Amino acid sequence: MRILVPVDGSASSKRIIEFLGSRQSLLGDKADIELLNVQYSIPEGIVQRFGLEAVKEVYEAEGQAIFEKLAPELEAAGLDCKKKVLYGDFGRAIAREAEAFDADLVVMGTRGLSPIKSFFLGSVSNSALQYTMRPMLLIRDVVPVLKANLRVAIASDGSEYALRGAKFIAEHHAIFGSNPKVSVVNVAPDFRTIVVGSEMDFANPVDSPEIFAKEQEKLFKEATEPVVAALKAEGIAADAVRLEGDAGEALTDWAKENADLLIMGSHGYGNFTAAVLGSTAMKIASACDLPILIVRK
């Protein structure tokens, strides 16, 4: 497995190293990890005045200082990583290196902001999400659960993303543990909410609770059964979980008590994180402290 880890020497970078260290015995010799530090671009006038090579030396020295700062954590985690320094726009630089390194996974730290304060995950992680289609694991402000087998929740709404999440688990089984517990979670709207929202719509009356429940059960099975079957075919324990209510709130509340890591899909490239992730995924990403794996198209 090839893992790209953008770092800046912050506490967030240290949490990522600690998390990867906890997976090291599971990843074994197959893990190929590269630490990447991206330096700010220097105005062209300064480059012309001092010369490109001199500027590159400064960049390299600053980047190496970051790696040295993280040396104690790397040693404690038992990680032997490649190291690379780049400069320029953070998101574009990370995306380019993810392609050049052929990363199976990009692991980044991100600050956790409530939906009231901001939907954005942080300028760097936000930017990287815009420019790379590689799977991205976002480590939040809290230290992730460090145990052998993780409880993994895959958010499934019937789209292709849940199956992509299941495929990622199957292909990179070790990072989740030798015997992870996977829950495929689908959230259905609450009937009472539907009634309140449509009580004035006389042209399209709401179905009875019985008909509504039958239709929701059909949609639940369509959203979860193929994903559970795909996981079980790979020998991975999986079950289906049905929730009701607002998708973002219900999944966040459930995951806090029942999961160690959450897998969600994203639409693809975009100028804003909300456009890339979708409104429900953004609500979850903003409110949930769990590590979140974003799978792409």
Q: Which of 36-40, 55-59, 71-75 has the lowest mean pLDDT?
A: 55-59
Please write the tens of the pLDDT for every residue from 190-225: 755 554 444 444 445 555 677 777 888 899 999 999
276: Cβ–Cβ under 8 A, 6 or more apart, which residues? 129, 130, 266, 267, 268, 269, 270
Q: The CATH number of the domain where 152 resides is what?
A: 3.40.50.620
**Domain assignment of residue 127, yes or no:** yes
How many CB atoms are closer than 10 A to CB 292? 24
106: left (phi over 0), alpha (psi -120 to 50) or beta: beta
Could you tell me if 66 and 120 lie in one domain? yes
pLDDT bracket for residue 117 (50, 70, 90): very low
**Which residue in 230, 229, 232, 259 sits closest to 155, CA to CA?**
259
pLDDT of residue 27: 67
Q: Which residue, chain included where needed, has tokens 């029942």?
A: 258
Domain hosting 244: range is: 148-259
**Domain assignment of residue 128, yes or no:** yes
Could you tell me if 47 and 183 lie in one domain? no
Angle, CA of 116, 255 and 144, to the nearest 5°: 90
- Sheet bearing 136-139, strands edge to edge: 82-87, 32-39, 2-6, 105-109, 136-139, 292-295, 261-265, 151-155, 181-188, 238-244
pLDDT bracket for residue 45 (50, 70, 90): low
Q: Give the whole-angstrom CA distance, residue 20 versus residue 15.
A: 9
Report the length, in residues, of the chain: 297
The backbone torsions φ and ψ at residue 176, rounded to the nearest 5 degrees and listed phi first, read -95, -10
Could you tell me if 137 and 158 lie in one domain? no
Could you tell me if 24 and 99 lie in one domain? yes
pLDDT bracket for residue 49 (50, 70, 90): low
**Domain assignment of residue 278, yes or no:** no
Could you tell me if 117 and 1 lie in one domain? yes
Could you tell me if 72 and 164 lie in one domain? no
206: left (phi over 0), alpha (psi -120 to 50) or beta: beta
Q: Which residue, chain included where needed, has tokens 């020998």?
A: 235
How much is the average pLDDT of 242-269? Answer: 87
Could you tell me if 73 and 197 lie in one domain? no
Q: Which residue spans within the chain are E strands per DSSP?
A: 2-6, 32-39, 82-87, 105-109, 136-139, 151-155, 181-188, 238-244, 261-265, 292-295
* CB crowding 63-79: b at 16 or more within 10 Å, else e: beebbeebeebbeebeb
Please write the tens of the pLDDT for every residue from 176-194: 988 899 999 999 877 555 5
Mean pLDDT for the chain? 81
Please write the tens of the pLDDT for every residue from 118-146: 333 456 777 788 888 899 998 877 777 77
**Domain assignment of residue 282, yes or no:** no
How much is the average pLDDT of 16-31? Answer: 76
Hey, is 166 helix, strand or coil? helix
Could you tell me if 7 and 133 lie in one domain? yes
